[in-house]
Homo-oligomer: A and B are copies of this chain.
Amino acid sequence: MFDPASLKYDANGLIPAIAQDVASGEVLMMAWMNAEAVARSLESGRVTYWSRSRAAFWVKGESSGHVQELVELRVDCDRDCLLVLVRQTGPACHTNRRSCFYTAIREGAEVVIAEPMAG
């Protein structure tokens, strides 16, 4: 059986979790989980992070409706990073963009490469 306590957490008890859109392969965001957030994500099928700023569990989309349905959780070789494959409803980013990684560095300058989603 998989035990969330078997993962390697940082000094704050957190592990980075990368959310990837299972349909498009797009990397949507990176946020943090503690052991309980990992357990809740697996149990509920709703990706649940730990909000460092609010010091509270953060069921992604709970207030915005932009939920992440957990398709699969993967662990890396060092057991200190997670990849969550998700079905993302709407934008993952608080700026209303699909992905948080909408700024590219091109020829030494920052370029915005994605616009907020409509609606």
List residues of chain A with CB under 8 Å of any chain B CB: 1-2, 16, 18, 20, 24-27, 29-30, 42, 72-78, 81, 83, 93-95, 97, 100-106, 108-110, 113
Contacts and interface: CB of A to CB of B under 8 A. Distances in A.
Given A27-B27, A75-B101, 12 more contacts: A1-B108, A2-B105, A2-B110, A18-B18, A42-B105, A72-B104, A74-B101, A74-B105, A76-B100, A76-B101, A81-B100, A83-B101
A91 to B, nearest CB: 11
A27 B97 CA distance: 20
22 contacts: A2-B110, A16-B16, A16-B30, A24-B25, A25-B25, A25-B26, A29-B76, A42-B105, A72-B104, A72-B105, A73-B104, A74-B105, A74-B113, A75-B101, A75-B105, A77-B93, A77-B94, A77-B95, A77-B100, A78-B100, A81-B100, A81-B101
